[in-house]
Amino acid sequence: MKTRSFDPISLLSSAYSIMQRDIFIYALNILTGVIVARTLGPEILGIWVLLTLVSSYAEGFGRLKTDISSVYILGSEKAKPEEVLFSITFFAVITSFTIVSIMLWQIEFIEDFLFQNTKLDYRQELICIIFIIPFEFLLLNYSYFYISLENVVVYNRIKVIQAILNFSIIAILILALDFKLWSLVFAKIISTLIPLLYSWSITDRRGWTKLRSRWNWSVSKDILTYAFNFYIIGIIGHIHRLTIKTIGAISFNTSQLAFYNQGEAASRLLNVIPNALSTILYPRISRSDEAEQSIEISCTSFRVTFFILSIVGVILFLIADYLIIFLYGIDFAPTADVLEIALPGAVIGSSCLTLQTFFQGKGLANIIPKLQIIPVILQVGFAYIFISLWGLNGAAMAFSLGSALYGLVILIAFIWINHISISRLIPKYQDIKLVYSIVLNHYKKD
């Protein structure tokens, strides 16, 4: 296995490229949210949150995560790209159509559960969201396939095309044609299908074996075996992310649910940096056979992430009230309280995401579910108790505390397993200089 020497400038520059894309996408999502919030209002926005829970639960419990495990399989050079892509596509098609069939069979139960606090009928919109699930799975397949090849350019294009389409369609259908909730549904469908078509068409198949020769049971078995770890991680992660929304769907009216969703989504701005780093770290650590190099990469990534997120978190906290009212209007003022309460836990939890990638890349993904189970169980308890006592603010408190615990267990495990000093994870002056150098070099190139 080939091992690259650790060059923090190269690593962080690649991550910076992805981060710029994520910031652009996040800005588009904010503009989309502004249009939706000011045009449709908190009640309809709350209905959309309920509809998207369907996709979230399908992704969390139905997707086998073979796409994520394929990054490790390709990174460790255990299979050909065409064999991996064929296998994960096969699994995605089988599982997604099974999920769609089950959901359509239980459509009345799903409808009654989601819309128990509203008297209007949203079955047609719900059916459309269900039917797009297989295509969402396939698009995720191609996204992770390009991550495994470290083809950041194509991966960025897929995400940018998706974001631009989503924004443009929503803006046109809401502002020009007054499609209301259907504008969000159509945008979701089109912004999934077109990027999927682009991903398929841009794939370089030169030198690939013929289609009938791409099925390799040994490779598929390896992918499934390692995917099991990610599947368990995914279930626990989705319980962690969706527990509060699910309890909120029962306890809150649709407007309160919209306030919580907007506040939580705003706090997830902090995930832009660790997600960008993790995208680069996972395949790179998978290709590395030097333990100390992988540890140093992870430590540097954590220090830089924690330093930047701490500054961004403080700034967001100070401007939260003004920002939310400016963007969404006075009707969404309660969202600012949710954001302020959520930020401390979000900073801690998001910073530790880069350390989770160490375990995934070193073939130790089976450790992660064992670490996550206690924080997730505690968060479920926190959500039920806090929402009962303090309502919307209680939901934000449960999210903040749960996120912090979720990240801290990963941090402690990383230190304990690698027998390193905690001082290696404390930001240093050199890290500040490193961040400055990355930004300066980037703008010099421009």
Residue scoring higher pLDDT (154 or 211): 154
2 in a domain, yes or no?
no
Look at residue 171 and tell me if it is in a domain. yes
**Given pLDDT bands bounded at 50, 70 and 90, which one contains residue 190?**
very high
pLDDT-derived band at 438, boundaries 50, 70, 90: low
- Is 1 among the domain residues? no
Q: Which of 263, 276, 216 is nearest to 80 (CA)?
A: 216
Give the separation between CA 19 and CA 393, rounded to whole angstroms: 30
Q: How far apart are CA 311 and CA 307, in angstroms?
A: 7
What does the pLDDT read at residue 267?
84
Residue 3 within a domain = no
Distances (CA, A) of 287 to 65, 149, 293, 358: 20, 11, 11, 12
Which of the given ranges, 40-44, 162-166, 202-206, has the highest pLDDT on average? 162-166
Residue 16 confidence (pLDDT) above 70: no
Range 12-27 burial, b when 16+ CB lie within 10 A, else e: bbbbbbbbebbeebbe
Contacts with 369 (C-beta within 8 Å, 6 or more apart), sequence order: 229, 232, 233, 236
194 lies in a domain?
Answer: yes
For the residues 422-428, what does the mean pLDDT come to?
88
How many helices (H) and strands (E) the chain has is answered by 16, 0
CA distance 330 to 213: 60
pLDDT at 3: 47
Q: Is the pTM of this model over 0.85?
A: no
Q: Position of tokens 């319980």? A: 239
Lowest pLDDT segment from 9-18, 63-72, 365-374, 415-424:
9-18
Q: What is the pLDDT of residue 362?
A: 79
Compute CA distances 397 → 14, 110, 303, whole Å. 35, 28, 26
Token couple for 245? 């929304």
Domain span at 426? 8-445
| Domain contains 164 | yes
27 in any annotated domain: yes
Q: Is residue 242 part of a domain?
A: yes
Return d(Cα 235, Cα 369) in angstroms, integer.
9
pLDDT tens by residue, 275-333? 777 777 776 676 666 778 788 888 888 888 898 899 999 999 999 999 888 888 888 88
Of 246 and 324, which is predicted with more confidence? Answer: 324
Tally the domains of the chain: 1
